[in-house]
Amino acid sequence: MFHSLTDFVRDHQQWAAPIVFALAFAESLAFLSLIIPAWGALVAIGALMGAAGGSFWPIWIAGALGAAFGDWLSFWIGTRFHDRIGGWWPMSKYPDMLPRAEAFMKKWGVVGIVFARFSGPLRATAPLVAGVVQMPLLPFQLANFGSAFLWAAMLLAPGMFGIKMMF
As a whole number, mean pLDDT of residues 16-37 equals: 89
User: For residues 102 and 161, which has the higher predicted lDDT (pLDDT)?
Assistant: 102
Residue 28: count of CB within 10 angstroms of its CB: 27
The values of phi and psi at residue 25, to 5°, are -60, -50
| Global confidence as pTM | 0.88
pLDDT at residue 110 is higher than 60: yes
Q: Tell me 135's DSSP state.
A: -
Q: Which of 23-32, 107-116, 154-163 has the lowest mean pLDDT?
A: 154-163
**pLDDT tens digits along 60-78:** 999 999 999 999 999 999 9
**16 contacts 59 by C-beta, under 8 angstroms:** yes
Q: What is the pLDDT of residue 167?
A: 47
CA dist 52 and 160 (Å) reads 9
As a whole number, mean pLDDT of residues 132-147 equals: 96
Confidence class of residue 133 from pLDDT cuts 50, 70 and 90? very high
**pLDDT tens digits along 4-15:** 877 788 888 899
**26 contacts 62 by C-beta, under 8 angstroms:** no
